[in-house]
């Protein structure tokens, strides 16, 4: 049972997707609010039944929340297909792990905006990008791209930069327990990093969000990503973003640094892991919420943005609201 209030909303939204070199997607939001779900690491299994109980239950509850609260879109935060991504655009995994699982009526016409994780990069990421031409709700125009939204009544603007943290930092070998050591191609990595810096520098959005697969900060099994702490964190701080969304560690976390930036980790879409291996790698006062009950059947994040604030709710797969916090509109743009 949902433990937060139900709002009524008008399900009218206009989408205009523009794919360019930077693969921008421009979306016009509702008159008063923008609502979305964020889930990572939901990618099932490469053998029958091609899903897990955690993924199935998380998908069902996402459908419940979308029906009760409304959802304009879903942020898919990587590791979309375990363990080795997909082979081609006709790979059956698209049906078996995605289309047939996230099948609630309330999610039928809700677009997914996708980034790749390390397991996706073990397969054919280009095929995932090409699948955007096959599925009306799968939107993955480029390895990295930006989303721009407007709340029309208040002219409040929201920008989300969707990153490929694997191209930035390299492959994380989960089976060997090794984090990313270096990008495969430094030219590709530096090109994306410059793109990120330019986008952040030029943004005047009221809410500025960055999303990728690897965490900047995490207390769990994988912990902070040293490459992102070194290269991305200074930019996030300098340009005063609102929040960074990620997955990779298989739990739910909210970390807020001394600058007020929120780090939203939503990686409980397929597995639950209870490691706190890196708890000493994050300042103790930064950790605001951590959920990793291995008996749970997963969870995700629900976000509501108004003209004044971004409301973030962590939801367990049986519908319990675990933690709720707000991030204010950016004041220095």
For residue 8, is it within any domain?
no
Rounded to whole angstroms, how far apart are CA atoms 145 and 176? 30
30 in a known ligand binding site: no
Residues 6+ apart with CB under 8 A from 8: none
In terms of residue numbers, what domain contains 201? Answer: 14-328
Rounded to whole angstroms, how far apart are CA atoms 140 and 213? 14
Residues 6+ apart with CB under 8 A from 299: 58, 61, 252, 266, 268, 291, 314, 315, 316, 317, 322
79 in a known ligand binding site: yes
For the stretch 85-132, pLDDT in tens is 999 999 999 999 999 999 999 999 999 999 999 999 999 999 999 999
Residues recorded for the chain: 333
222 in a known ligand binding site: no
Residue 32 pLDDT: 87
For residue 7, is it within any domain?
no
For residue 233, is it within any domain?
yes
For residue 2, is it within any domain?
no
For residue 85, is it within any domain?
yes
293 in a known ligand binding site: no
Answer positive or negative: Cα dihedral of 278, 281, 284, 288: negative
82 in a known ligand binding site: yes
For residue 333, is it within any domain?
no
Check whether 267 has a pLDDT greater than 60.
yes
CATH number at residue 68: 3.60.21.10
For residue 6, is it within any domain?
no
Rounded to whole angstroms, how far apart are CA atoms 188 and 18? 22
Quick one: which of 264, 268, 214 has its CA closest to 244? Answer: 264
Check whether 225 has a pLDDT greater than 80.
yes
* Average pLDDT of the chain, as a whole number: 90
Quick one: which of 99, 89, 132 has its CA closest to 114? Answer: 132
State the total domains in the chain: 1
pTM of the model: 0.91
41 in a known ligand binding site: yes
For the stretch 226-265, pLDDT in tens is 999 999 999 999 999 999 999 999 999 999 999 999 999 9
Rounded to whole angstroms, how far apart are CA atoms 157 and 175? 41
213 in a known ligand binding site: yes
Q: Are strands 138-139 and 252-256 parallel, antiparallel or unpaired?
A: unpaired
Check whether 207 has a pLDDT greater than 80.
yes
For residue 147, is it within any domain?
yes
More confident of the two residues 141 and 176 = 141
């Amino acid at each position: 049972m949902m433990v937060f209030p139900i709002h009524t909303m008008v399900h009218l939204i206009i989408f205009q997707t523009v794919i360019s070199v930077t693969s921008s997607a421009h979306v016009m939001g509702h008159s008063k609010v923008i609502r979305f779900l964020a889930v990572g690491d939901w990618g099932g299994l490469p053998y029958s039944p091609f899903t897990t109980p955690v993924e199935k239950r998380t998908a069902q509850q996402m459908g419940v929340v979308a029906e009760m609260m409304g959802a304009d879109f879903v942020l898919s935060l990587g590791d979309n297909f375990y363990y080795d991504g997909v082979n081609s655009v006709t790979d059956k995994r698209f049906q078996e792990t995605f289309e047939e699982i996230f099948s609630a009526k309330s999610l039928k016409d809700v677009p997914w905006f996708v980034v790749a994780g390390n397991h996706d990069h073990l397969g054919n990421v280009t095929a995932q990008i090409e699948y955007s031409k096959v599925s009306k709700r799968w939107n993955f125009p480029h390895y990295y791209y930006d989303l721009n939204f407007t709340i029309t009544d208040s002219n409040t603007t929201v920008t989300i930069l969707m990153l490929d943290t694997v191209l930035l930092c390299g492959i994380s070998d989960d089976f060997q327990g090794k984090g990313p050591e270096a990008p495969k191609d430094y030219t590709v990595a530096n090109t994306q990093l410059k793109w990120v810096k330019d986008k952040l520098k030029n943004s005047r959005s009221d809410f500025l969000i960055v999303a990728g697969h690897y965490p900047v900060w995490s207390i769990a099994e994988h912990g902070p990503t040293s490459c992102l702490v070194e290269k991305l964190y200074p930019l996030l701080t300098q340009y005063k973003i609102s929040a960074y969304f990620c997955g990779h560690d298989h739990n739910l976390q909210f970390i807020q640094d001394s600058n007020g930036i929120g780090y939203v980790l939503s990686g409980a879409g397929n597995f639950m892991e209870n490691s706190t291996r890196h708890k000493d790698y994050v300042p103790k006062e930064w950790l605001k919420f951590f959920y990793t009950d291995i008996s749970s059947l997963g969870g995700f994040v629900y976000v509501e943005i108004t003209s004044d604030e971004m409301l973030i709710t962590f939801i367990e797969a049986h519908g319990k609201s675990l933690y709720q916090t707000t991030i204010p509109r950016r004041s220095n743009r």
